[in-house]
Amino acid sequence: MINLETPRKFRAFVNQAHQVAAEMLRPNSRRYDLAEHEYPKELDLLAALVDGLGASGTGSGAGASGVRRTEVDDSKVKNGSNMSSVLSIMEMCWGDVGLLLSMPRQGLGNSAIASVASDEQLRRFEGVWAAMAITEPGCGSDSANIQTTARRDGDHYVIDGEKIFVTAGARCDAVVVWATVDKSLGRAAIKSFVVPKDTPGLTVERVEHKLGIRSSDTATIRLTNCRVPAENLLGSPDVDPDKGFAGVMQTFDNTRPLVAAMAVGCARASLEVTRDLLADAGVEIDYDRSVHLQPAAAATFLQLEADWESAYLLTLQAAWMADNGRPNSLQASMAKAKAGRAANDITLRCVELTGSLGYSEHELLEKWARDSKILDIFEGTQQIQQLIVARRLLGKTSAELK
């Protein structure tokens, strides 16, 4: 049974993550928001610290690269790397989402590798900073419609295509590229490949200017006759029409709770600052009185806090199920959908509640409102998550419910 308290073995680590967020990430948040595309040098030290924690075992699966679905003992409840990762990411994104996304070796591609790579691949790609490339100019939320191709040629695959909105695409060491090995076989032929950035034929076309998470680079990548060793294919090379592309989609079961955790952390930061500003303005939030008996601002704040709590609990549930070897596709999508939408609503309403202070750069509230928007979009949009949840609950296939 899941325990809603932070596991004892993670408490010191979570406190360390919060301290890093308070002393390193948040103080640099505005600086790198304004200096878009400038690399945050402070993150090199932080990434080395996370690597050291992971190597020593005290990090308990810190960061995005910690997620891994392993065999578990059904007779025991386990709090493992997925739970550790979401708890640490919540704290780090309480500091700054963009800077968390800019951390070396903690990209979404790293969580993809950790989720589905073989033990040999884990050893081979250890220490690599990996981005994840899924979206294409003609293919966004419909991952099954990917047009990038991977053609087998001896001991290599030759990859051709264009990928857009690749988080950390310009700074990373390698890119996890989703491509089809046979267009005629549909979604079953979608596979993911680890492509080193120095591979001939891979070029970074441009880096995007964005509404939020400006400290994180978002790139467009082109692959032309890009030859990748066959052993860089993640998971099984076999195409199984009955299984569909569940192998690569398993990545999302581990990464969507991570994005939900980012949203939960960002929203919590907004709520805490808003509570303080309301108190300074003389608005008392009384948890012992009914909402309708309190000032409108206090009543609104209590509603937002309840919305945050539900997103937080769904995120913990999805991570806990992954750690305990239970299918969590439904819960991962529910957590991502709820947390992404809640973070958008909470951060924007916090700007409204605090008036001119919230709208100005005097506080970070307006920045958090901008940053939160992407958390409802990447790793599957709000609409796609709702569609996945509906299919799971109604027992419908993707062909039956579009």
Length of the chain: 402
Cβ count near 300 (within 10 Å): 18
Identify the bridge partners of residue 150 per DSSP, sorted by sequence position.
159
Q: Which of 349, 359, 262, 335 is nearest to 305 (CA)?
A: 349
Alpha-helical runs (H) found in 157-292: 246-280
- Exposed e or buried b per residue across 27-44, where buried means at least 16 C-beta atoms within 10 angstroms of its C-beta: ebbeebbeebbeebebbe
Residues 6+ apart with CB under 8 A from 11: none
> At 188, is the secondary structure helix, strand, or coil?
helix
Task: Report the alpha-carbon distance of residue 227 to residue 78 in Å, rounded.
Answer: 41
Task: Report the alpha-carbon distance of residue 218 to residue 284 in Å, rounded.
Answer: 42
User: Dihedral, CA atoms, 223, 226, 231, 236, nearest 10 degrees?
Assistant: 50
Residues 6+ apart with CB under 8 A from 380: 141, 252, 256, 333, 336, 388
Q: Residue holding tokens 């290599």? A: 156
In this structure, are residues 257 and 182 in contact, taking their beta carbons and an 8 Å threshold? no
Task: From the candidates 71, 363, 379, 400, give the one annotated as an active-site residue.
Answer: 379
In this structure, are residues 114 and 92 in contact, taking their beta carbons and an 8 Å threshold? no
Task: Report the alpha-carbon distance of residue 13 to residue 28 in Å, rounded.
Answer: 22
Q: Which of 269, 294, 283, 277 is nearest to 354 (CA)?
A: 277
Q: Which of 200, 186, 113 is nearest to 156 (CA)?
A: 200
- Residue 85: which H helix or E strand, with range? helix 81-95
309 classed as catalytic: no
Both tokens of 9, joined, read 């073995």
Q: What is the 3-state secondary structure (H, E, C) of 136-156?
A: ECCECCCHHHCCCEEEEECCE
In this structure, are residues 227 and 201 in contact, taking their beta carbons and an 8 Å threshold? yes
- Residue 383: which H helix or E strand, with range? helix 382-394
Q: Give the residue numbers marked as catalytic.
A: 379
